[in-house]
Chains A and B, each alone.
Chain A
Amino acid sequence: MTQVTLTNAVKRYGTVEVLHGIDLEIEANKLTVLLGPSGCGKSTLLRMIAGLEDISDGELQIGDRIVNEADPSERGCAMVFQNYALYPHQTVFKNMAFPLKMKGTPKSEIETKVRETARVLELEPLLDRLPRDLSGGQRQRVAMGRAMIRNPKVFLFDEPLSNLDAELRVKMRLEIARLQKELGATMIFVTHDQVEAMTLADNVVILNSGYVQQVGAPLDIYNHPANRFVAGFIGSPSMNFLPVEKVENTANGAFVHLQGGLKATFDRQVPQDTRTLGVRPEHVTVGGATLSIPPADFTELGAEHLGDRAYHHITLPFGDFTILQAEGEKIPSTDALALGFAEARLHFFDEDGLALTGKDT
């Protein structure tokens, strides 16, 4: 039962502040994913937890100990690096034995422990090989074995799957999920890949430019993004945003005047402060009654055909717009384009980009 708690954690490089007062509670025995675009500080945050970066300000607590000043090895964390960081001149066995050797474990015990861990990870036939003779997936497993062997309380993964090909990534994802269930340890996983985050995580922490944007279960975040950044970041292709000029609520519905002179009609009320309307491509249907666009106002940019479905990209007076359609369906080119939005799945954002509770309005 080891939870990790950050209180007002700040990271500065010289005068540049890259993490601005992170308050975060990472639940024990759960897999938490730190997700964000490149440069958002997620790796820095992980390295602060690991003890590889100093904490400029604030407090880090692992279990019930404050470990701001503790050495990496004293924090009870193990880390799997993006490039695995296997010791290139040592065999798999020696790589996995290294943490035990540093601890001063007797030889016979090292032997049994390494063999045991190797069995769990199906590495037994590879123990005498050098890292360079292993495939990417095998190296990955060795790195995990080296992390597991000390029975750490917290596992830290720094984008461990990004060097693998797509097929292997899916396999290793399942493997990590399985290990997490088996070991029941706290795991913190950094990635920029939202698919990884959605499929793997118990909890997702979304970071952007040094701030925590939202914390929650993957589906919660998908369905109820807290702000415009999260809404745009989660989901691929990303959410369509429609800039709103005026909201006109009536007795049994609402008119939303969009920039560029278009007018959307809804059978429901829309929060009065809405400045941006968000709708995911999969919640738009061609031939609905929400928005009617005259032929002069839209052009089709192109389509991504995925086999069973296709994403059509069009330009509207206020920007680009994406629609998900079943394969074979087309965007009309001469008639007006009528779009229908799934009204329960709309997202409303105010001037600051914060989500307005659209569920009950």
Chain B
Amino acid sequence: MRKSTRKKYLLIAVLSAYCLLTLMPFYILAVRAFTPTIESTELHLWIPERRDLSMNARIGDLSTIYNVDARAFRREMGIKGYLNPQLKLSQIAEKYEIEPESIRTYLEPFVQYNGIYTIVNNGFVRSLIATIVVTGASVLVGALLGIMTGSALAGFRRRWHMFVYNTYLLNMIIPPMMVILPQYIIITRYLGLENSLLSLVLLHIKGGALSTMVFTSYIATVPRELKESVYMDGGKHYHYFLYILLPLMGTPFAVFASITMPWFWNDLLHALVLLRPDNYTLPAFVASIGGTFTTNFEAIFSGVLLSLLPILVVYLVFQKLFIRSAMAGAVKG
């Protein structure tokens, strides 16, 4: 009795330690998202205290470190003509007769929450919407295609079924980077889908090896009698597909979605190759924040953190479904 209790606590302790270890990178990322770039060489385990905006800071330094757009600043402050980047803020206030307070109000957010501010001001929301559209369409259409292929192939009743299936699987062993240029040529030259989100969706749903695998094996477990029963009840094949098969696909869909959604969400390479900056999805957008000479790490980390949040929410909302998908096959439904 005593011994088993101790064993239980030991187990809980080990598992919690393991969980913490797994979550550690997320924590570091969250801290980094609020750590000023200037301090990014140090190891921070907690969000460091911020220094207030000093009026002795040079406007040129601010624009390199904090991504302050000098032109927008000039427009906002009513400064005409050339603005010397070497000028300190106090000197600007004096020279152009601007209230120091209004300079401070304008620049304070850049300093206090620079990462988030930079990201949001540079088109985070637009990229987020693009990513949601691409990921959502890819998962839904991919699943639908997978279900349709699966319902045709399930059980491998003909020899050519196996052939089709193997062709799909073959697609899995080709490294995506090897075919990225041929794909680029096909998409831009033949399909004319330059800089289009549709091109990403097409790439995600093509030759869906995983979706075929997941749905084929699951549909094979759906009794044949269900289909026959629909026929006997006066239904056609599309009735079976619509009313019976689709509603039963919750579990395999969760398997499919939980595996592919992060892929699609985090797909950097294809977005960089196929899209232009005005159309970037989140990973490409975050990557584009890094400059050639200076890099605003705070903004990059904030971008990564913000782009993780939506998918995290999706996971939490559909947790039940995903857990059920993990249990699929373990117990008879």
Contact = CB atoms under 8 A, between A and B. Distances in A.
B239 interface: yes
B233 A146 contact: yes
Contacts of B244: 87
Interface centre among B229, B230, B234, B243 (most CB of A within 10 A): B229
Contacts of B231: 51-52, 71-73
B333 interface: yes
Contact of B229 (A51, A77, A81, A103): A81
A76 to B, nearest CB: 11
A77 B232 contact: yes
Contact of A89 (B223, B232, B235, B248): B248
Interface string A130-155: 00100000000000001000100000
B234 A79 contact: no
Interface string B224-238: 011011111111000
Given A83-B223, A87-B244, A89-B248, A99 B233 contact: yes
Contact of B226 (A87, A132, A150): A87
A216 to B, nearest CB: 29
Contacts of B233: 73, 98-99, 102, 146, 150
Contacts of A99: 233-234
Contacts of A87: 226, 229, 243-244
Contacts of A150: 233-234
B235 A85 contact: no
A73 B235 CA distance: 8
A132 B232 contact: no
B247 A89 contact: yes
Contacts of A78: 232
B225 A102 contact: no
Interface string A52-85: 1000000000000000000111000111011101
B320 to A, nearest CB: 16
A132 B248 CA distance: 14
Given A88-B248, A89-B247, A132-B333, A102 B226 contact: no
A221 interface: no
A99 B231 CA distance: 10
A170 B33 CA distance: 71
A50 B223 contact: no
A89 B232 CA distance: 19
Interface string A321-356: 000000000000000000000000000000000000
B225 to A, nearest CB: 4
Consensus secondary structure, chain B interface: helix
Which of B231, B247, B248 counts the most chain A CB atoms within 10 A? B231
A342 to B, nearest CB: 46
B159 to A, nearest CB: 12
Interface residues of B, number: 17
Contact of B239 (A52, A77, A81, A102): A102
A81 B225 contact: yes
A85 B228 contact: yes
Interface in A94-117: 98-99, 102-103
B228 A52 contact: yes
Nearest to B240: A87
A78 B232 CA distance: 6
Contacts of A132: 333
A72 B333 CA distance: 30
Interface string B198-226: 00000000000000000000000001011
Contact of B228 (A79, A88, A103): A79
Nearest to B233: A99
B234 A73 contact: yes
Nearest to B246: A89
Contacts of A83: 223, 225
Contact of A102 (B228, B234, B247, B248): B234
Interface string B321-333: 0000000000001
A53 to B, nearest CB: 10
A77 B234 CA distance: 10
Interface in B241-266: 243-244, 247-248
A82 B183 CA distance: 50
Nearest to A87: B244
Contacts of B226: 85, 87
A103 B333 contact: no
B5 to A, nearest CB: 37
A73 B232 contact: yes
A85 B333 contact: no
Contacts of B229: 79, 81, 85, 87, 146
A203 B27 CA distance: 76
Contact of B234 (A82, A89, A103): A103
Contacts of B243: 87, 98
A109 B244 CA distance: 23
A71 B237 CA distance: 12
A134 to B, nearest CB: 14
B235 to A, nearest CB: 5
A99 B233 CA distance: 5
A274 to B, nearest CB: 46
B239 to A, nearest CB: 6
A308 to B, nearest CB: 39
Given A85-B223, A85-B226, A89-B247, A79 B333 contact: no
A291 to B, nearest CB: 51
Contacts of B225: 81-83, 85
7 closest cross-chain pairs (CB), A and B: A73-B234, A85-B225, A99-B233, A102-B234, A85-B229, A81-B225, A72-B231
Interface of B: 223, 225-226, 228-235, 239, 243-244, 247-248, 333
Given A71-B231, A87-B243, A99-B234, 19 more contacts: A50-B228, A50-B232, A52-B231, A72-B228, A73-B235, A79-B229, A81-B229, A82-B225, A85-B229, A87-B229, A87-B244, A98-B230, A99-B233, A102-B233, A102-B239, A103-B234, A132-B333, A146-B229, A146-B233
25 contacts: A52-B228, A52-B232, A71-B231, A72-B228, A72-B231, A72-B232, A73-B233, A73-B234, A73-B235, A78-B232, A81-B225, A81-B229, A83-B225, A87-B244, A88-B248, A89-B247, A98-B235, A98-B243, A99-B233, A99-B234, A102-B230, A102-B234, A103-B234, A146-B229, A150-B233
